[in-house]
A and B are shown apart, each in its own frame.
Chain A
Amino acid sequence: MLTGIIVCIVFIILAIAMMTRKLPAILVMPIMAIAIALAAGMPIIPIEGATENILDTVLNSGASRLIGNVINVIFASWMANLLYKTGITDLMIKKAAELGGDKPVVVTILLILVTALLFSAMGGVGAVAMIGGTVLPILISVGVKPLAAAHLFMAALSAGYNVRPANIVTVANICGVQTTDITVACWILCVFDLLFAFIYLIVDAKKNGKKYAFAAPAEDEDLESVKNTDQVRGVRALLASLTPVIILACTYFFKWNVVACYSIGIIWAIIMTAKGGWSKYVSLVTQSAYDGVKDSAPPAIIFMGIGMILTSVGSSTVQTALTPFMQMIIPGSVIGLLIFCAVLSPLSLYRGPFNILGLGSCLAAGIVGLGIFDPVLLAAVFYCTFRWPAQACPTATQVVWVANYVGEEPVNVSNKVFIANWVMTAASVFLVGLLYSTVL
């Protein structure tokens, strides 16, 4: 019990260090993995009689544990760069805006849907900048307040993220379940995010109504740089716009693996957008791949840290030390677990213990280790608490980028929707939790 308490103290100290931004997540993750293993009494180097040690088990095996997810993220970022560089994202966004015409609410709804669709296939902060840089100015120019535009964009982004194959596989791997097990939860969360956006839009439109603004570009426009002369048009452009749908169909209908789905998406996009000189086009495809790898660097490093934590917490040494303590603090019933997760869901912010792509990986691994709950239920519930930080966590790179772009503080952007997100998260935790514990 004492060892368990020490492990928890280590966890709390490092969590506070990360949440107060004294230490970045990429450092906290490996430090926490090692510190927890040390506190539980795991030897540092291989010794006779011990099956686990920090060098081999935590560092070596841990760092490569989620390597498959790193590859998935690279493919998602490559896809994002390819769609952007060939002008397809721009085309989809502008077509949606054209369809909305002079009706701000219609324009906004269409842009929310297109953004969600794009993020269901694309990933990385590069994609956020690429899509946000086009969507946000349109939203603001049709009269949506900058802060509201940021919230609507983030909700749409989160809706797409929730069904993005690369994300689902990551959560499934962390909790040790099949991706198909949590598909229903992913779509429910996608709908929740879209509902969030539409309710927000209705409330904002009722409160503020129409708006006129006298505004001009903050910087002189370089017309040549914004013009994509090589953009495909007509039927090929329409077919190229279906790339995210192709990827989703391969994932959910054919149930193929993520790399296969993205590869098909990339080949489809290449066929539909190839134009001009072949060498020039090949260079564009290659550059997209390089940029995709570059954009994937931050999540890749985080995944290595998460892998170390999962391996450390999942090791028999730590489990033996941690189980008595976890049994004491974790509720023993499903309803208790749902209340526990719903009430404490704000701790998913700042990559806290309810963020599955942060310290939540440690908590999830700890609860899975208890063997009280079905891992599928845990994966689904933890995915629900993960929806919030994906949409409005001040430390999430996408939130930081969007907040800066609209001239707001990330904390301000997140705090404005704090209560709404808490209610939404609690509702999704109960709906998904009850569904998975009774029906699915």
Chain B
Amino acid sequence: MKQFPFPDRITARDELTHDVLYKKIPEEERVRICDEAWQVGVDAARREMAEDPDGNIYELAKANGLQIIRERVDKVSGGLRFFSEYTPNKSRIDVYVLSIRLFAKNNHLTEEEAEELILAHEFFHFLEENKIGDTSQIYTIPRVTIGSLKIGKSGIRALSEIGAHGFARTYWEISHGEAQLSSGNVTSYNNSMEARMIRGKHDADQLMSFMFGKKK
């Protein structure tokens, strides 16, 4: 896994290999469930952007009662570098500024862009907790298998992270219509199909509203 992951659909699959249950997932299922989790994130991002194409992630977080706490640290603990943490009980997202600075530098982003991306990642987990359900449960495996006897079932936590990557990347691509990210690099693209479709829908809604006084 990369030190500063900003994966696309393909590289996000790497997240699954770090799940403790990875070896228990049948090989032929691995790609499928990763892509399914990624799509959950993509769909959620599209829905959010369709509802509020002009809104940014900060406003979205604020509107949903999420508190954003910035700590000026490069948080490295237990061999892991933390960029952000979301605590549902406290409706709180902690972002680690110096970790994000490194993330930005390594992904050729500005610090602001990197922070937005990371907040979008955590916002997906907020959606999982409150709206769309736990992505880790889209695929389950038996907790204990003794011969043909299967006891209990467990979801795959990594799928939730893959969904969050899918959400963050899609959200970022749509909201930054002027630039599209490709395999970790920022490449210029004006009016991506995705962005145009969503903006077009929004413009159409506004036109309808103007002509017929229909509320959005």
Residues on A lying within 8 angstroms of B by beta carbon are: 94, 97-99, 101-103, 107, 133, 136-142, 146, 149, 207-221, 405-408
Chain A CB within 8 A of B173 CB: no
Q: Which of B59-67, B156-164, B178-186, B201-209 contacts A (4 or more CB under 8 A)?
A: B156-164
CA distance A216 to B15 in the complex (A): 10
How close is A420's CB to chain B, nearest CB, in angstroms? Answer: 22
**A214-B83, A214-B84, A217-B3 known; A140-B78 Cβ under 8 A:** yes
How close is B4's CB to chain A, nearest CB, in angstroms? Answer: 6
Determine if A212 and B78 form an interchain contact, defined as CB atoms under 8 angstroms apart.
Answer: no
- B99-117 contact mask (Cβ, 8 Å, vs A): 1 or 0: 0000000000000000000
Closest 8 CB pairs of A and B: A101-B154, A209-B89, A146-B77, A212-B125, A407-B77, A97-B20, A102-B155, A140-B78
Interface residue ranges of B61-103 to A (CB < 8 Å): 75-90
17 CB-based A-B contacts, threshold 8 Å: A98-B24, A99-B144, A137-B78, A140-B78, A141-B157, A209-B89, A210-B87, A210-B88, A212-B86, A212-B125, A212-B160, A213-B85, A215-B81, A215-B82, A218-B81, A405-B79, A406-B78
Interface residue ranges of B1-38 to A (CB < 8 Å): 1-5, 18, 20-21, 24
How close is A188's CB to chain B, nearest CB, in angstroms? Answer: 31
Closest to B137 in A: A102
Residues of chain B within 8 A of A408, CB atoms compared: 77
How close is B135's CB to chain A, nearest CB, in angstroms? Answer: 11
Determine if A407 and B2 form an interchain contact, defined as CB atoms under 8 angstroms apart.
Answer: no
**A98-B24, A101-B21, A208-B89 known; A215-B83 Cβ under 8 A:** yes
Query: Chain B: interface residue count, which band?
Result: 35 or more
Chain A CB within 8 A of B42 CB: no
Determine if A215 and B80 form an interchain contact, defined as CB atoms under 8 angstroms apart.
Answer: yes
What is the count of residue pairs linking A and B with beta-carbon distances less than 8 angstroms? 114
Determine if A220 and B81 form an interchain contact, defined as CB atoms under 8 angstroms apart.
Answer: no
Determine if B83 and A101 form an interchain contact, defined as CB atoms under 8 angstroms apart.
Answer: no
Chain A CB within 8 A of B121 CB: yes
CA distance A221 to B76 in the complex (A): 15
- B117-141 contact mask (Cβ, 8 Å, vs A): 1 or 0: 0100110010001000000110001
Residues of chain A within 8 A of B118, CB atoms compared: 214
Closest to B73 in A: A407
Residues of chain B within 8 A of A98, CB atoms compared: 20-21, 24
Residues of chain B within 8 A of A218, CB atoms compared: 3, 76, 79-81
**A99-B144, A216-B4 known; A211-B87 Cβ under 8 A:** yes
CA distance A138 to B158 in the complex (A): 13
Q: Please pick, from A101, A213, A216, A221, the residue contacting B143 in the complex, using a CB distance under 8 A.
A: A101
Residues of chain B within 8 A of A94, CB atoms compared: 20
Residues of chain A within 8 A of B85, CB atoms compared: 211-214
Residues of chain A within 8 A of B129, CB atoms compared: 210
Determine if B3 and A220 form an interchain contact, defined as CB atoms under 8 angstroms apart.
Answer: yes
Determine if A141 and B21 form an interchain contact, defined as CB atoms under 8 angstroms apart.
Answer: no
Residues of chain A within 8 A of B160, CB atoms compared: 212
Residues of chain B within 8 A of A209, CB atoms compared: 87-90
**A97-B20, A407-B75 known; A217-B155 Cβ under 8 A:** no
Residues of chain B within 8 A of A207, CB atoms compared: 89
For the complex with contacts A102-B21, A214-B84, 19 further pairs of A-B residues with Cβ separation under 8 Å are A94-B20, A98-B21, A98-B24, A99-B143, A101-B141, A101-B143, A102-B156, A133-B79, A137-B78, A141-B80, A208-B89, A212-B122, A215-B83, A216-B80, A217-B3, A217-B80, A217-B81, A220-B3, A408-B77
